[in-house]
């Protein structure tokens, strides 16, 4: 028998007309087969200019378990904030549209939150036991970023701030979201830092993760924005 707990899975997207439908179908099929909780998928579209809105609305019209949310400004953090803020689910989660993280890692991610043992959970590509396939450039940048995080926040209490596979209880979200200023890629890291500052222990799950070679993330620009975000949180301003 399914639990009465509800879990929302947010998929933030920007110009994902090629990947969106296949990923939502795959995710919905997986949740239908394996998730013992009531679940809903929220497509959080942050200002797409291609056919993403058309596809997202069609998917939502075709299933009561899929919702389409449109924002007119870009920013992954903005999309997550909007989706999580309006949700009434017990556990709020998100994953990248490319589904780089093996979906079998999803229940280990959310289970301790559903049970009330943690308020925040993250997937980790750097914790012992993780299985990661990705190019050298992304591997090096990821490790440098996390070394910088460790140097600036030595008591941060987690390994991998950037993995696009996270969950939070509604109660924790209500407390932490107002404290997070970033609206883009540093949103994840800032959320975790604010959580630790408020005394939250973070549940970290080693994941199986395969890099999407078609990703359009601008690595250098994103890294610079993250560095500025770290500086702001550490030193103010």
For residue 138, the domain's CATH number is 3.90.550.10
The CA distance from 30 to 60, in Å, is 17
Strand partners, 208: 131
Query: What are 111-130's pLDDT values in tens digits?
Result: 999 999 999 999 999 999 99
Do the domain assignments include residue 98? yes
Q: Please, are residues 209 and 101 in contact by the beta-carbon 8 Å criterion?
A: yes
Instruction: Assign 22 to helix, strand or coil.
Output: helix
Evaluate whether residue 123 is within a structural domain. Answer: yes
Per-residue pLDDT tens over the stretch 127-156: 999 999 988 877 888 788 888 888 899 878
Domains in the chain, number: 1
Residue-wise pLDDT for 67-98, tens only, equals 999 999 999 999 999 999 999 999 999 999 99
Domain range enclosing 54: 6-235
pTM of the model: 0.93
Active site residues: 188
Q: 72 lies in a domain?
A: yes
Whether 102 is covered by a domain: the verdict is yes
Residue 119 lies in a domain: yes
Tokens of 188: 């994840």
**Within a domain: residue 1?**
no
């Amino acid at each position: 028998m399914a639990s009465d707990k509800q879990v929302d899975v947010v998929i933030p997207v920007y110009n994902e007309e090629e990947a969106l439908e296949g990923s939502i179908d795959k995710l919905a099929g997986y949740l239908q087969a394996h998730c013992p909780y009531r679940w809903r998928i929220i497509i959080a579209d942050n200002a797409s200019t291609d056919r993403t809105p058309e596809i997202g609305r069609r998917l939502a019209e075709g299933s009561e378990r899929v919702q389409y949310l449109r924002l007119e400004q870009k920013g992954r953090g903005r999309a997550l904030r909007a989706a999580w803020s309006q949700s009434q689910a017990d556990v709020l989660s998100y994953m990248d549209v490319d589904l780089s993280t093996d979906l079998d890692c999803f229940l280990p991610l959310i289970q301790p939150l559903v049970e009330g043992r943690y308020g925040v959970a993250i997937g980790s590509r750097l914790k012992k036991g993780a299985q990661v396939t990705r190019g050298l450039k992304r591997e090096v940048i990821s490790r440098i970023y996390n070394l910088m995080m460790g140097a600036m926040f030595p008591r941060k209490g987690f390994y991998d701030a950037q993995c696009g596979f996270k969950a939070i209880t509604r109660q924790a979200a209500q407390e932490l979201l107002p404290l997070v200023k970033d609206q883009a890629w540093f949103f994840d890291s800032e959320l975790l830092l604010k959580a630790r500052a408020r005394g939250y222990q973070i549940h970290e799950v080693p994941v199986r993760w395969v890099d999407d070679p078609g990703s359009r993330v601008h690595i250098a620009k994103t890294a610079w924005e993250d560095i500025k975000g770290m500086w702001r949180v550490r030193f103010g301003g």
